[in-house]
């Protein structure tokens, strides 16, 4: 893991999540760190605020998640974060590197077995989807990752996730005709060759809020997005659409950094945030799928129909364990390619 390369940067703060927002004076407290924007706002509304009301434990919000900062905190012994929302591959690698506290499994009820381990529990289940601005795209709406690379039919800027992480290389290979069953190990040379064909037209997004701004404004007419970000734009009335064809799925995970000074409170928060009701409310608001197996019974049929797991016909699971082992070596080439 390259501590000097945070995967998502502080530009996510543009979304309106204040650093260490003031919490009411209570006997106990903890700091919850996530990615900012509409996602963290929903986590604050549906997890942190009702948890504080029920438990008397104040939850201060910080962000965005920064892996270099995370590692530096643990190595220095000066840990100020207590619960952190991270990507799945980071959770696997951080556990291997001894950066995480073990979780009390007895407090975590009803979790989908795919999203729980000794040191991490699911936050939410999401998909990367193809998104487009309806006013900027002319003619037939784009429907496949190959359309992202078709500059003739869909001219103009396209936006992709800037950081070395699961998603961009996979969609490039899919667009180039690689079968989903043959994605891993990734053919890095082939992926970059495909990306070279649109490199001059790429506008990079570093956080979810920025991706929303680029698409809603029409600065980028087409691109890759977290499904929840498109869902939020659609609810706001923005003229955007999305295609679920070959949507790329993964889960964010919640972890407790090694050396947390509020581990007991953090564990209580994890139990609440992953409960059936809290997950259902968050999923209903964001369009991200819940990790608790009982949550859908607490959601309306209309809300359930918008979740990533309802679009499984051509769905592809990103291999987070592969990325946990290879992210550093891929990152060296990824960042060098961006600056060439």
Q: Please name which of 172, 301, 290, 277 lies closest in space to residue 228, comparing C-alpha atoms.
A: 290
pLDDT tens column, 258-272: 999 999 999 999 999
pLDDT of residue 207: 85
Structure tokens given for 316: 């592809």
Q: Where are the beta strands (DSSP E) in the chain?
A: 28-33, 57-62, 83-87, 121-133, 158-161, 202-205, 222-226, 240-255, 316-317
pLDDT confidence bin for 209, thresholds 50/70/90: confident
- DSSP characters for 130-194? EEEETTT--SSPP-SHHHHT-TTTS-S-EEEE-SSSTTHHHHHHHHTT--GGG-SS--HHHHHHH
| Pair 237, 276 in one domain | no
The model's pTM is 0.83
> How far apart are alpha carbons 88 and 257 in whole angstroms?
15
CATH number at 89 reads: 3.40.190.10
- DSSP characters for 90-125? HHHHHHHTT-BPPP-GGG--SB-GGGB-SS-EEEEE
> How far apart are alpha carbons 319 and 251 in whole angstroms?
11
| Pair 164, 300 in one domain | no
Q: Residue 238: enclosing H or E segment and its boundaries?
A: none
223 strand-pairing partners: 131, 159
The answer to the question of residue 276 being in a domain is yes
| Pair 179, 238 in one domain | yes
pLDDT confidence bin for 27, thresholds 50/70/90: low
Number of domains in the chain: 2
| Pair 177, 39 in one domain | no
Q: Which domain holds residue 220?
A: 126-250+318-339
| Pair 169, 184 in one domain | yes
| Pair 193, 323 in one domain | yes
Rounded to 5 degrees, φ, ψ at 189 are -60, -45
| Pair 177, 244 in one domain | yes
Q: At what angle do helices 320-339 and 188-196 cross, to 10 degrees?
A: 40
> How far apart are alpha carbons 324 and 303 in whole angstroms?
32
Residue 247 has pLDDT above 60, yes or no: yes
pLDDT of residue 325: 94
The answer to the question of residue 118 being in a domain is yes
> How far apart are alpha carbons 250 and 185 in whole angstroms?
17
Rg of the chain over Cα atoms, rounded to whole angstroms, equals: 19
Q: CA torsion sign, 279 to 281 to 285 to 289?
A: positive
| Pair 272, 232 in one domain | no
Residues 6+ apart with CB under 8 A from 195: 168, 172, 202, 337
pLDDT tens column, 48-63: 999 999 999 999 999 9
Compute CA 170 distance to the chain's CA centroid, rounded to the nearest angstrom.
16
The answer to the question of residue 13 being in a domain is no
Share of the chain above pLDDT 70, in %: 92
pLDDT tens column, 152-194: 999 999 999 999 999 999 999 999 999 999 999 999 999 999 9
The answer to the question of residue 7 being in a domain is no
Query: What is the rounded average pLDDT of the residues 281-305?
Result: 96
Buried b (16+ CB within 10 A) or exposed e, 168-206: bbbbbbbbbebeeeebeebbbeebeebbeebeebbbbbb
């Amino acid at each position: 893991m390259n501590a000097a390369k945070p995967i998502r940067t502080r530009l996510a703060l543009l979304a309106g999540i204040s650093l260490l927002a003031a919490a009411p004076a209570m006997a106990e407290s903890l700091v919850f760190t996530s990615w900012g924007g509409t996602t963290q706002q929903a986590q604050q509304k549906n997890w942190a605020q009702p948890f504080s009301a029920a438990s008397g434990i104040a939850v201060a919000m910080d962000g965005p998640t920064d892996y270099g900062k995370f590692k530096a905190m643990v190595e220095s012994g000066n840990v100020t974060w207590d619960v952190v929302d991270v990507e799945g591959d980071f959770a696997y690698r951080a556990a291997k590197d001894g950066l995480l506290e073990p979780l009390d499994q007895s407090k975590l009820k009803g979790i989908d077995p795919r999203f729980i381990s000794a040191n991490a529990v699911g936050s939410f289940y999401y998909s990367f989807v193809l998104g487009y601005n309806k006013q900027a795209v002319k003619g037939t709406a784009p429907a496949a990752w190959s359309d992202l690379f078709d500059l003739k039919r869909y001219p103009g800027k396209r936006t992709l996730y800037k950081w070395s992480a699961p998603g961009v290389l996979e969609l490039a290979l899919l667009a180039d005709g690689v079968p989903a069953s043959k994605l891993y190990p990734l053919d890095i040379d082939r992926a970059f060759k495909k990306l070279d064909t649109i490199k001059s037209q790429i506008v990079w997004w570093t956080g979810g809020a920025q991706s929303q701004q680029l698409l809603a404004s029409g600065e980028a007419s087409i691109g890759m997005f977290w499904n929840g970000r498109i869902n939020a734009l659609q609810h706001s009335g923005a003229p955007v659409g999305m295609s679920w064809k070959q949507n790329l799925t993964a889960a964010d995970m919640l972890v407790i950094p090694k050396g947390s000074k509020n581990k007991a409170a953090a564990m209580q928060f994890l139990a609440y945030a992953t409960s059936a009701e809290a997950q259902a409310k968050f999923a209903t608001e964001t369009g991200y799928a819940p990790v608790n197996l009982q949550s859908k019974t607490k959601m309306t049929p209309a809300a359930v129909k918008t979740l990533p797991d309802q679009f499984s016909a051509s769905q592809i699971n990103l291999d987070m364990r592969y990325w946990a082992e290879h992210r550093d070596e891929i990152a060296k080439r990824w960042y060098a390619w961006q600056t060439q």
